């Protein structure tokens, strides 16, 4: 949904004129000041899922008079890029009539955002800046000649390339957090669980302290609570302290850097992998609180900005993000860049410690590239004695694919979600058969596209009602085949070897075996 924010215009003749004429927006909100705007953005973002006001499925605009608030349009847009990276939101000076022409583009931009395939396509292959210096425009002979490099686009919508470039831009990185953000009490956006006090973290500590942890049953607020509870404890143990409100700002910014609208690769997955990483660290890094903290932080940031697709799709269409990383571990390098830049602003002390220890966080995130799986499996099987960097990499790798080691009732839900994302990838490839990836998204060929339904209410019903694996298979009969393929190709040998190397982890291979037995009973003939 899209929102038009009118700031400091309440009751004026101009505000009423705009409200009457701006039918392109799903809602119009009048606020007295920019402080109220910040509160509204954060509160909307952590609304219950499926969250209509996530600022990703529509384009939102903020109209205000910069002279009244001593903050230019440019600086407000910079603030949006720093603290709400995935949002499609921008500022306009309503006192300049020519700026209001921007409103005419909203309907077309909303059409792109509301169709999940055109939205993902835009994320991956478009940008609305000039091509950054240092990114090659030359085509590789191995790339399909029908695809051209990413072209500049006029739509004011999130793209991977802009996210990456903004994270590196010096003008976005400030020494201090601006007053508009600094004065916010972030705990006020988090409801207490079931009427219990949570400052001691016990409610969420109980959830985190079991391999039966199910991030899929938690709201965005609860996910942030889990991250806060665990990181606060680990930072205290490691004596790398961070103030509560600064930690919450980091978590809110991190959540706003993930795409809520992704089915699998979102903040839920990040919290799930962080929890699994911590659980594995309790077995394998018992006496190293600093490395445990670093590894858990790498886990929560390991997929930041993920588009819900894969490296191959970025390579096939010669995206500029792929070119910027020379087609090697594209998304992993992308996540690494974004997360380290985020830490450099919000927790520089931790990043400095990481870089002193073989660039710890960077190495851990890069290890999650599944194209490197066989290499790490070989190290697990044959490296004697095992190097510390290998152990670190194996822990986060195990955590990243741990959904197949969870109890079946939880594992089946993750299987359902990854199946939905794979389906989106297939739809995107089909879309490319009739559209060039970088094609002008305002062109006539984009009109009258079949809407790719989000089905978020249906998805949420499955997740919150503890739908049984049997019921999931009824609607998605090929999920067992996908799970069997993944277990046979990646998980079985890996977790068996890990369990043999570290006997306390035998429950991982046991769960994989039990889950595989279930999926084999329901395998669909090809």
Q: Which residues are catalytic?
A: 265
Q: In angstroms, rounded to a whole number, what is the distance separating the alpha carbons of residues 246 and 229?
A: 14
The overall longest dimension of the chain from CA atoms, in Å, is 76
Whether 438 contacts 151, CB under 8 Å: yes
DSSP code, position 444: G
Whether 234 contacts 293, CB under 8 Å: yes
Q: In angstroms, rounded to a whole number, what is the distance separating the alpha carbons of residues 16 and 36?
A: 20
122 labelled binding-site residue = no
| Alpha carbon distance, N-terminus to C-terminus of the chain | 40
302 labelled binding-site residue = yes
HEC letters along 36-103? HHHHHHHHHHCCCCCCCCCCCCCCEEEEECHHHHCCCHHHHHHHHHHHCCCCCEEEEECCCHHHHHHH
Percentage helix, strand, coil for the chain under 3-state DSSP, each rounded to 5: 60, 5, 35
**Other Cβ atoms within 10 Å of 352 Cβ, number:** 12
Q: In angstroms, rounded to a whole number, what is the distance separating the alpha carbons of residues 477 and 524?
A: 7
Q: In angstroms, rounded to a whole number, what is the distance separating the alpha carbons of residues 227 and 218?
A: 12
Pairing state between β 3-7 and 60-64:
parallel
Cα–Cα separations (whole angstroms), residue 233 to 54, 94, 111, 189, 240: 30, 47, 44, 21, 10
Residues making up the chain, counted from first to last: 526
CA nearest neighbour of 403 among 510, 284, 508: 508
Token pair, residue 441, equals 């998204």
166 labelled binding-site residue = no
Residues at the binding site are: 269, 302-303, 400
Residues at the binding site for Zn(2+) are: 269, 302-303, 400
């Amino acid at each position: 949904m899209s929102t038009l924010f009118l700031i400091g215009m309440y009751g004026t003749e101009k505000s009423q004129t705009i409200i009457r004429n701006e039918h392109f927006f799903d809602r119009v909100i009048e606020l007295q000041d920019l402080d109220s705007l910040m509160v509204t953005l954060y509160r909307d973002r952590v609304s219950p899922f499926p969250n209509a006001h996530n600022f990703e499925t529509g384009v939102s605009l903020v109209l205000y008079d910069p002279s009244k608030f001593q903050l230019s349009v440019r600086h407000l847009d910079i603030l949006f890029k720093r603290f709400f990276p995935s949002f499609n939101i921008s500022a306009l000076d309503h006192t300049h009539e020519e700026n209001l022409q921007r409103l005419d583009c909203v309907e077309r931009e909303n059409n792109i955002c509301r169709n999940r395939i055109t939205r993902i396509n835009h994320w991956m292959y478009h940008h609305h800046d000039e091509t950054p210096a240092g990114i090659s425009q030359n085509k590789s002979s191995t790339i399909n000649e029908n695809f051209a490099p990413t072209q500049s686009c006029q739509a004011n919508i999130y793209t991977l390339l802009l996210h990456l470039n903004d994270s590196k831009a010096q003008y976005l990185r400030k020494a201090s957090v601006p007053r508009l953000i600094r004065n916010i009490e972030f705990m006020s956006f988090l409801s207490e669980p079931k009427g219990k006090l949570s400052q001691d973290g016990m409610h969420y500590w109980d959830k985190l302290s079991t391999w039966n942890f199910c991030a899929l049953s938690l709201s965005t607020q609860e996910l942030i609570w889990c991250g806060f509870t665990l990181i606060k404890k680990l930072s205290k143990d490691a004596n790398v302290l961070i103030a509560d409100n600064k930690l919450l700002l980091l978590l809110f910014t991190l959540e706003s850097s993930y795409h809520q609208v992704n089915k699998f690769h979102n903040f839920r997955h990040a919290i799930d992998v962080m929890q699994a990483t911590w659980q594995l660290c309790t077995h394998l890094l018992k006496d190293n609180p600093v490395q445990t903290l670093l590894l858990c932080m790498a886990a929560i940031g390991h997929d930041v900005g993920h588009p819900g697709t894969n490296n191959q799709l970025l390579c096939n269409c010669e995206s500029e993000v792929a070119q910027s990383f020379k087609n090697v571990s594209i998304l992993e390098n992308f996540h690494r860049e974004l997360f380290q830049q985020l830490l450099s602003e919000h927790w520089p002390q931790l990043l400095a410690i990481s870089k002193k220890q073989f660039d710890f966080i960077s190495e851990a995130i890069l290890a999650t590239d599944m194209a490197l799986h066989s290499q790490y499996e070989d190290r697990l099987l044959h490296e004697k004695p095992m190097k510390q960097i290998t152990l670190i990499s194996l822990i986060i790798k195990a955590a990243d694919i741990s959904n197949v080691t969870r109890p079946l009732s939880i594992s089946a839900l993750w299987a359902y979600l990854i199946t939905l994302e794979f389906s989106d990838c297939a739809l995107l490839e089909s879309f490319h058969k009739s559209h060039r990836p970088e094609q002008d998204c305002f062109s006539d060929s984009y009109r009258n596209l079949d809407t790719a339904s989000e089905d978020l209410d249906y998805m949420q019903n499955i997740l919150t009602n503890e739908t049984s694996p049997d019921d999931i298979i009824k609607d998605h009969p090929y999920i067992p085949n996908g799970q069997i393929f993944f277990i046979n190709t990646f998980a079985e040998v890996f977790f068996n070897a890990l369990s043999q190397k570290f006997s306390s982890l035998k429950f991982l291979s046991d769960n994989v075996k039990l889950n595989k037995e279930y999926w084999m009973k329901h395998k669909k003939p090809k």
